[in-house]
Chain A
Amino acid sequence: MATIALASGVEERVQQPSQVTLFFRYLRRNKSLAIGLAVLLALVLFTVIGLLVVSPKAAYPLAAMTKQPPSWKYPFGTDFFGRNLLAAMAVGLWQTAVIGVLAGALGTLIGIILGFISAYFGGWLDNLIRGICQVLTPIPVLLIQVVVASTLDKRDVTIFTMALIVVMLAWMWPTLVIRSQVLTMKERQFVSVAKLSGVSDFGIIFKEILPNLLPFIAAAFVGQVFSAVFASFYLAVLGLGPLREPLLGNIIWSAQGQGAFFNGWWWWPIEPAIAMILILGSLALIIMGLDELANPRVRRSE
């Protein structure tokens, strides 16, 4: 039998599309993920460009004329104390991102470690970790965070300590989620096979289980970032954050304290409010999108 030689053009067409193209094609189907990522990207761009264009010092009081409405000179206006709100938003977004990512990563890491240990090694260790998680769950976390934040010496409240406060009681959920996923995987065939072929425990964890868990870890991470940003915003709005910094919650807190709405300085609290809605909203959309990603049965076909 003679082989039929294909025309060269046909061969090229059979090549697999690149990873990037596949990714974009998936985004087209998963609208919420797409929009969420787009908004987040826009915010990041705004922050980066903002920090380059405006001096960070303008985000602090007495930097500009006070109480100016948005204009060409001050695109976002200024507040009662003389902060240039454009700079304040850029710096505030950056600081919020730092808290969110730091606390999110820390919480997810704790969740992965504890979840793994608990599920993989089982026995009394599993019962202990699971028990602690369950017992701590009914305790109103935000309240404890409020109590802690108000107990600290004000000078100790910085961006970093806020991240720690926020993580303190937030790691239980990722631990339980990761634990349950690892438990399911433990029983699956590919793990038993790996064990039989003599792969070490660590090898199994890193080479077999972890890659399959990535969608869940990603979802847990985004979830943690969401609750970190939410909690830090809540603490700041109560006046418990590092007061001089232009964190979004702080700006709203000081605007409320000076009666911004009543006095007609609407732009002062509205701008950080919109920013916060965009941040949390985009994170929520991403979480929605990841839900679909994690469940292969539901992934919409093209």
Chain B
Amino acid sequence: MVKLKFLAGVLLAAAAALAPVAVYADDAAATAAPAEIAPKTPLPDLPRNKQLILGWSIASPIGVTNPWAVPGYTHQEGNNLMFEPLQYYAIFASKYIPWLAQSCEYTSKDFTSLEIKLNPKAKWSDGTPVTADDVVYTFEGQMKNDKLPYHADFVQYVDTVTAKDKETVEVKFKIPAPRFKFEVLTLKFDTGIPIVQKAWEEKQKDVNAAAGGVDIPHSGPYDLVAWNANQKIYNLREDWWAIKAGLRKDPAVKRVVIVNLGGQVGQNMDTVAQRLVNNEMDSSLDMRAQVIGNILAQNPKITSWTGNKSPFGYRDWWPNSLWMNTTIAPYNDVRVRKAMSLSINRDQINDVLYDGAKVATIYPFPLYPALQKFADSPAVKAEEAKYNPGEFDLDKSAKLMTDAGFTKNGDGLWEKDGKTVNATINGFEGIHSDIAPVLVEMLRNGGFDAAVNFGTDAQQNMNDGVPGLYMFGHGASLLDPDAALELFDGKYSTPNGSAAGAGRWSRYKNPEYDKLLDEMAPLGADDPKFQADAAAALGIYWRDVIDIPIIQWLHRIPYNNTYWTNWPSDTNVADGENGAFWAHTGMIEITSLKPSGAK
């Protein structure tokens, strides 16, 4: 009796346990991503001083190394060590670093044709040379495949791409494209396209679903050798073409280990900080202001971009503003927008959050050398004096609101027709958890009904243009203000009821503004007409308070000098790249590191 029941129970449990396995076996043929990448033979032991250990939160699916796999691929988790571009750009040295291409120049004054000459020594990891065919294939792929990130740019600008010989490619544009080389064909920060191998991509049934794994041929210096939920391991390949071509000396970092910090990122950054202090890692993703100060204090071998001094970081390309949908009430009244801006006390932000460092901003672009020059130019300064975008004045704010027809209700909030001004800030907890609550209090003091929304619907709210404010950056301008100003070009603004594209949440439409942008588009940045139009456009941005600029973005990346030195910093500009090992230029940074001499 007992046996039967017992047996039945066991069988039931066993069946439930085995069923998924059966289904999985069935599906095995169709699965694209492997469960785990483990080396076939054990990896050779390497001393610690030949390994670089980085801490990151690995989010991409295991096995995806193909740059054309969408949306799984990211260059940030080590794949930037595998794929290379025609050239890099070093933002702090203000110069190009030619790479797969020895030269890439416009051949006509009106920027309608471009010639690329490849480096004859460039080779793929399978031994075959990088040829013009690969470049043509890469470009044409972007033009035809609408899932790829730069598809729209290629379609808008590129007319034809032809291989003139094994090492020369000619590109003809439909309309003048003065910024195409910089924006699209150069890798810097996280933008630009790498070159992929035609032979491999051609063989894939669906390039957007092909994972790549360890087999995909690449031109970069490191090979993926292991990847599981806990870490990724890359080994240097000594036959990297750039060494023989003289572009780089043999890198001292023989192995890169990227540790998956998983859930410790965000809510538990203090644990990551402690692990850094314990020398478990050589660098990690960036830290908050308070934390990095303490890290440096606890472990003197750890430094930052600004050494041991505040603000411990470099200016990133993503200055944040409070955006809003300027086509719906009450945000469509410029007085309301200006009143909100007047209730933000940028000095207090600097004091409370950054210990006095000047981080708050009034610009929609980062102040890199070229852009700093632009911001300091007399024309821009004149516009700034006219509109005073950084002003903090609660009385002026109140007057504007009363002019706009609002009255203060019992809770001290502005109200019109029974509705308060919805100032819910939609943001992202991982990056805005310190600034958002402060902004909420400031807005409430100004009489606006503010609250924080870090929910998973924040991004969707921005895209849908719901009432409220959106805390987000401008990932646009790096060299000249055109890209940032173009974010507000009316031709990209979608009507309400449809989703807004990235950076188009203001839905701003102004023919006067658009006219300026159209004039600027075909001109080079040095052209005086370009400069004048850009200043005027920036003036309109301030006059109409299209969004409320709040802070520059700093990347406070800790560098542990225990095993590796020669990290980029404000005193060690080196090649001119920033200190983010996850950016495309991370490859440049990692291959320049020098051993500290420690065992």
From residue 238 to 264 of chain A, which have CB atoms closer than 8 A to chain B? 239, 243-244, 253-254, 256-264
Q: Are A263 and B290 in contact (CB under 8 A)?
A: yes
Contacting residue for A263 out of B291, B433, B440, B451, CB 8 A: B291
What residue in chain A is nearest B433 (Cβ atoms)? A257
Known contacts A66-B352, A239-B454; is A259 also within 8 Å of B437 by CB?
no
Q: Are A155 and B440 in contact (CB under 8 A)?
A: no
From residue 452 to 468 of chain B, which have CB atoms closer than 8 A to chain A? 452-458
Q: Are A154 and B457 in contact (CB under 8 A)?
A: yes
A64 to chain B, nearest CB (A): 11
**In this assembly, does A277 line the interface, its C-beta being within 8 Å of a C-beta of chain B?**
no
| Cβ–Cβ < 8 Å partners of B294 in chain A | 262-264
Contacting residue for B268 out of A152, A254, A256, A263, CB 8 A: A256
Known contacts A259-B270, A259-B290; is A153 also within 8 Å of B455 by CB?
yes
Q: Are A262 and B429 in contact (CB under 8 A)?
A: no
**In this assembly, does A26 line the interface, its C-beta being within 8 Å of a C-beta of chain B?**
no
A88 to chain B, nearest CB (A): 13
Known: A259-B291, A262-B269. 15 other contacts (CB 8 A): A62-B438, A62-B445, A66-B352, A80-B290, A81-B434, A82-B352, A152-B455, A154-B424, A154-B453, A154-B454, A155-B451, A244-B452, A256-B267, A257-B266, A259-B270
Q: Are A259 and B273 in contact (CB under 8 A)?
A: yes
**Considering the chains assembled together, what is the distance between the CA atoms of A64 and B96 in angstroms?**
49
**Considering the chains assembled together, what is the distance between the CA atoms of A260 and B457 in angstroms?**
27
Contact with A along B264-305 (1 / 0, CB 8 A): 001111110110000000000000101100100000000000
A210 to chain B, nearest CB (A): 41
Known contacts A150-B456, A239-B454; is A62 also within 8 Å of B442 by CB?
yes
Q: List 25 A-B contacts (CB under 8 A).
A: A61-B437, A62-B352, A62-B442, A62-B445, A81-B437, A81-B438, A82-B352, A150-B455, A150-B456, A154-B451, A154-B454, A154-B455, A239-B429, A239-B454, A243-B452, A243-B453, A244-B452, A256-B267, A256-B270, A259-B273, A259-B288, A259-B291, A262-B273, A262-B294, A264-B294
**In this assembly, does A120 line the interface, its C-beta being within 8 Å of a C-beta of chain B?**
no
**In this assembly, does B140 line the interface, its C-beta being within 8 Å of a C-beta of chain A?**
no
Known contacts A66-B352, A239-B429; is A155 also within 8 Å of B434 by CB?
no
**Considering the chains assembled together, what is the distance between the CA atoms of A243 and B274 in angstroms?**
27
**Considering the chains assembled together, what is the distance between the CA atoms of A60 and B60 in angstroms?**
38
**Considering the chains assembled together, what is the distance between the CA atoms of A150 and B442 in angstroms?**
27
Known contacts A154-B454, A154-B457, A243-B452; is A263 also within 8 Å of B270 by CB?
yes
A147 to chain B, nearest CB (A): 11
What residue in chain B is nearest A153 (Cβ atoms)? B457
| Cβ–Cβ < 8 Å partners of A150 in chain B | 455-456
**In this assembly, does B250 line the interface, its C-beta being within 8 Å of a C-beta of chain A?**
no
**In this assembly, does B441 line the interface, its C-beta being within 8 Å of a C-beta of chain A?**
yes
A169 to chain B, nearest CB (A): 21
Known contacts A62-B438, A81-B438, A152-B455; is A258 also within 8 Å of B424 by CB?
no
Contact with B along A37-60 (1 / 0, CB 8 A): 000000000000000000000001
What residue in chain B is nearest A242 (Cβ atoms)? B451
**Considering the chains assembled together, what is the distance between the CA atoms of A262 and B434 in angstroms?**
16
Contacting residue for B454 out of A243, A258, A259, CB 8 A: A243
What residue in chain B is nearest A254 (Cβ atoms)? B433
| Cβ–Cβ < 8 Å partners of B267 in chain A | 239, 253, 256-257
A146 to chain B, nearest CB (A): 12
| Cβ–Cβ < 8 Å partners of B271 in chain A | 262
**Considering the chains assembled together, what is the distance between the CA atoms of A264 and B294 in angstroms?**
9
| Cβ–Cβ < 8 Å partners of B269 in chain A | 257, 259, 262
**4 smallest beta-carbon distances between A and B, as pairs:** A262-B270, A259-B270, A154-B453, A62-B441
Total contacting residues, chain B, CB less than 8 A: 31
**Which secondary structure dominates chain B's binding surface?**
helix
- Inter-chain CB contacts under 8 Å: number: 81
| Cβ–Cβ < 8 Å partners of B270 in chain A | 256, 259-263
Q: Are A244 and B291 in contact (CB under 8 A)?
A: no
| Cβ–Cβ < 8 Å partners of A263 in chain B | 270, 290-291, 294
Contacting residue for A262 out of B266, B274, B442, B452, CB 8 A: B274
**Considering the chains assembled together, what is the distance between the CA atoms of A240 and B267 in angstroms?**
13
| Cβ–Cβ < 8 Å partners of A153 in chain B | 455, 457
| Cβ–Cβ < 8 Å partners of B452 in chain A | 154, 243-244
Known contacts A154-B451, A239-B429, A239-B454; is A262 also within 8 Å of B440 by CB?
no
Q: Are A243 and B273 in contact (CB under 8 A)?
A: no
From residue 581 to 598 of chain B, which have CB atoms closer than 8 A to chain A? none
B293 to chain A, nearest CB (A): 8
What residue in chain A is nearest B424 (Cβ atoms)? A155
B324 to chain A, nearest CB (A): 16
**Considering the chains assembled together, what is the distance between the CA atoms of A258 and B445 in angstroms?**
24
| Cβ–Cβ < 8 Å partners of A243 in chain B | 437, 451-454
Of A153, A154, A244, A253, most B-chain CB atoms within 10 Å: A154
Known contacts A82-B352, A257-B429; is A155 also within 8 Å of B453 by CB?
yes
**Considering the chains assembled together, what is the distance between the CA atoms of A292 and B359 in angstroms?**
62
| Cβ–Cβ < 8 Å partners of B288 in chain A | 258-259
**Considering the chains assembled together, what is the distance between the CA atoms of A155 and B453 in angstroms?**
7
| Cβ–Cβ < 8 Å partners of A66 in chain B | 352
**Considering the chains assembled together, what is the distance between the CA atoms of A152 and B455 in angstroms?**
8
A87 to chain B, nearest CB (A): 14
Q: Are A80 and B442 in contact (CB under 8 A)?
A: no
| Cβ–Cβ < 8 Å partners of B455 in chain A | 150, 152-154
